[in-house]
């Protein structure tokens, strides 16, 4: 539930954001009647509703975010139009990079901690679409018109609220795809210039980074539909070695039901006792922890069974991943092939690509306080 009970905006909550489907490579604009490209921000998707002093922030799943980001609410009150509905992203920047892990820490039940973090790790908001302005709804208008209105309305923003950069030049978009990753961004989004704003519709296109790594299989979790009569594998738990210790780096999933049944049978000879496993020291942990090790709970997984079946770390698998979040894969890695030729202890972090650093201020279009790029 939102707090806008007495508000009458042209577009009212709940609003489900427009989504994107993945494509490989920068698409040809001519096939879509023209495209606008912009950075793909790695934060919390956020719809902003403002009517005077009434402000509400809602998530991709339409849940309220307002109480967690008081500094953003204050910035919206100072910088954004009196009556508007905007689609954008909440982010936290540390130095010249976005830090998703730090952003996650902002979701906390204690007001005292929320207030402390709002000062210690303040968030920003970057707008990239317009749903309503004043008394007019823009959802049925083409993106080219929505973007023009955004540029006219939000010109000159220099933080904590920003307007995302865009380009219609394919070569420039390809350059952004490579260079912006060093600032912690997730890729590039392409929006058809003629498309209206379709809630929950995959109208946009996203081009994300994909790399491969050879990782150690250290355990598995059963699928939610697994039964004693027909056990099914849900996900493989993956690790990499650092300083002689096997560190949890993420999971690989998305297998067919047939393959889930085959895998869980194939892995049985490697099942070992937890006390004989490199992660045995974690078996007694029952609290949230920043490393999100297997078998432990967090604010994001309350009520879920995160127990796992430990395996001798003898197998190596090649997986595809987009980018890192600290020392872990940001998203579920995709199984590519077994690497029977690799020694598990040779699989370390040094094989992972490090993107070239890039100034976040340049991505945001801010050259110096009070001025923006052309």
Residues serving a catalytic function are 40
**Cβ atoms of residues 237 and 216 within 8 Å:** no
How many other C-beta atoms are found inside a 10 Å radius of the C-beta of residue 134?
A: 12
Return d(Cα 31, Cα 125) in angstroms, integer.
Answer: 32
**Cβ atoms of residues 148 and 154 within 8 Å:** no
Return d(Cα 298, Cα 23) in angstroms, integer.
Answer: 32
CA angle 267, 286, 293 (to 5 degrees): 50
Peptide bond into 160 cis (omega under 30): yes
Going by their DSSP bridges, the two strands 233-242 and 245-253 should be labelled as antiparallel
Going by their DSSP bridges, the two strands 309-321 and 211-222 should be labelled as antiparallel
Which of 106, 149, 116 lies closest to 131 in space, CA to CA?
Answer: 149
Query: Residues 281, 286, 292, 295: is their CA dihedral positive or negative?
Result: positive
| Rg (alpha carbons) of the chain, rounded to whole number | 23
> Counting runs of H as helices and runs of E as strands, what totals does the chain give?
7, 20
Which of 124, 113, 14 lies closest to 63 in space, CA to CA?
Answer: 14
132: tokens are: 């309503």
**Where do the DSSP E strands lie in the chain?**
19-22, 35-39, 44-51, 54-58, 83-94, 97-98, 123-133, 136-137, 161-163, 187-192, 202-208, 211-222, 233-242, 245-253, 309-321, 324-325, 328-329, 333-338, 366-368, 371-372
């Amino acid at each position: 539930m939102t707090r806008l009970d007495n508000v009458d905006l042209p577009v009212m909550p709940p609003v489900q954001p427009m989504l994107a489907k993945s494509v490989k490579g920068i698409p040809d604009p001519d096939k879509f009647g023209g495209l606008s490209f912009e950075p793909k921000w790695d934060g919390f998707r956020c719809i902003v509703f403002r009517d005077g002093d009434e402000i509400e922030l809602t998530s991709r799943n339409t849940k309220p975010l307002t109480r967690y980001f008081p500094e953003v609410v204050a910035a919206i009150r100072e910088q954004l139009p009196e009556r508007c509905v905007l689609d954008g992203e909440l982010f936290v920047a540390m130095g010249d990079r976005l830090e998703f892990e730090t952003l996650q820490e902002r979701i906390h039940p204690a007001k005292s901690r929320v207030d402390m973090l709002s000062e210690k790790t303040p968030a920003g908001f970057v707008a990239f679409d317009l749903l309503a302005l004043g008394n007019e709804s823009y959802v049925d208008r083409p993106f080219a018109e929505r973007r023009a209105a955004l540029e006219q309305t939000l010109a000159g923003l220099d933080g904590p609220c920003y307007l995302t950069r865009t380009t219609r030049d394919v070569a420039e978009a390809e350059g952004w795809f490579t260079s912006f990753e060093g600032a912690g961004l997730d890729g590039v989004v392409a929006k058809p210039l003629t498309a209206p704003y379709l809630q929950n519709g995959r109208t946009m296109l996203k081009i994300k980074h994909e790399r491969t790594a050879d990782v150690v299989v250290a355990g598995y979790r059963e699928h939610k539909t697994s039964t004693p009569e027909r056990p099914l594998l849900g996900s493989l738990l993956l690790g990499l070695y650092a300083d002689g210790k096997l560190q949890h780096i993420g999971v690989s999933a998305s297998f067919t039901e047939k393959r889930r049944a085959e895998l869980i049978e194939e892995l049985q000879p490697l099942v070992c006792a937890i006390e004989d496993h490199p992660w045995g020291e974690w078996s007694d942990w029952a609290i949230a922890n920043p490393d999100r090790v297997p078998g432990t709970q967090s604010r994001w997984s309350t009520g879920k069974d995160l127990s796992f079946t430990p395996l001798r770390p003898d197998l190596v698998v090649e997986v595809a991943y987009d980018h890192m979040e600290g020392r872990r894969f940001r998203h579920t890695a995709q199984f590519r092939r077994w690497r029977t030729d690799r020694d598990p202890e040779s699989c370390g972090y040094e094989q992972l690509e490090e993107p070239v650093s890039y100034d976040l201020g340049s991505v945001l279009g801010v050259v110096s306080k009070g001025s923006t790029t052309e």
